[in-house]
């Protein structure tokens, strides 16, 4: 096995351990020593891959956000009709948030906490452009409400995070019927 792929494995193990531990304990309540132990390496080794704890968190955030965005636009093509395109993206996001729960919960904690610094936050936001473009097209076609994209996001995408939270706390079980209901509500709130 090459040195590179071994290094990748350790980095990957570190990222995974960070996500899991931060989900369960929060950022400042997860010591580097525990992250190292869960990743199966020694504490000092973390510093071969990341500058320090803050840098570790920022990097993990950016990577998870990127993998989320990739997932969101999987199989989406710009020539789709607005409605079909939105459905594809929305359902991708729903699948991600309901199946990749660890990663989704991590993002949710990062987005509601001062644990990520502002540059990394901005960095993580870049990838959503295709959805914004789709909405503008929809507005030009007279299909989508003429309101700010923040508003559209708040009412169609953001609710999925709440449902994920409830499902995670075992307060609510989301069957695929429920996901369809939810999609219809999302579309209802943004279509004219």
Partner DNA sequence: TACGTTAAAATGAACGTTCATTCATTTTTT
Partner DNA sequence: AAAAAATGAATGAACGTTCATTTTAACGTA
Q: CB 4 → a copy of itself: shortest distance, Å?
A: 35
For the window 112-151, what string marks contact with a copy of itself as x by the rule CB under 8 A? xxxx-----------------------------x-xx-xx
Establish how many alpha carbons lie within 13 A of residue 13's alpha carbon, considering only the half-sphere containing its beta carbon.
17
Token pair in block for residue 180: 């369809």
190 forms part of the interface with a copy of itself (CB under 8 A): yes
Query: Could you give the residue ranges of the DSSP H alpha helices within the chain?
Result: 3-25, 32-39, 43-49, 53-72, 82-99, 101-111, 118-125, 129-140, 149-156, 158-168, 176-190
Give 2 or 142: the residue with its C-beta nearer to a copy of itself: 142
Q: Strand, coil or helix: what is 191?
A: strand
Which of 63, 87, 111, 117 touches a copy of itself (CB under 8 A)?
A: 111
Which one of DNA, a copy of itself, none interacts with residue 159, CB within 5 to 8 A by kind? a copy of itself
Give 36 or 89: the residue with its C-beta nearer to DNA: 36
Q: Is 109 exposed, middle or buried (0-12, 13-18, 19+ CB in 10 A)?
A: middle
Q: Strand, coil or helix: what is 145?
A: coil
Give 53 or 121: the residue with its C-beta nearer to DNA: 53
d(CA 30, CA 72): 29
Token pair in block for residue 137: 């097209």
Give 47 or 158: the residue with its C-beta nearer to DNA: 47
For the window 164-183, what string marks contact with a copy of itself as x by the rule CB under 8 A? -xx----xx-----x--xx-
Token pair in block for residue 49: 């891959």
Q: Site residues (CB under 8 A) for a copy of itself?
A: 23-29, 108-109, 111-115, 145, 147-148, 150-151, 153-155, 158-163, 165-166, 171-172, 178, 181-182, 185-186, 188-190
């Amino acid at each position: 096995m090459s040195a590179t792929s071994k290094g990748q494995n350790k980095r990957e193990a570190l990222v995974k351990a960070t996500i899991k531990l931060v989900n369960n304990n929060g950022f400042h309540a997860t010591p580097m020593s525990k992250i190292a132990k869960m990743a199966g390496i020694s504490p000092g080794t973390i510093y071969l891959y990341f500058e320090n704890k803050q840098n570790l968190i920022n990097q993990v955030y950016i990577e998870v956000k990127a993998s989320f965005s990739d997932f969101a636009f999987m199989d989406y093509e710009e020539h789709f009709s607005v409605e079909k395109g939105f459905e594809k993206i929305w359902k991708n996001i729903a699948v991600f948030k309901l199946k990749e729960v660890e990663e989704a919960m991590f993002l949710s904690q990062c987005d509601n906490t001062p644990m990520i610094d502002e540059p990394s936050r901005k960095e993580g936001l870049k990838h959503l452009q295709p959805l914004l473009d789709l909405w503008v097209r929809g507005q030009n076609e007279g299909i989508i409400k003429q309101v700010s994209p923040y508003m559209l996001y708040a009412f169609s995408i953001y609710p999925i995070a709440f449902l994920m939270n409830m499902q995670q706390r075992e307060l609510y079980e989301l069957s695929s019927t429920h996901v369809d209901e939810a999609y219809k509500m999302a579309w209802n709130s943004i279509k004219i």
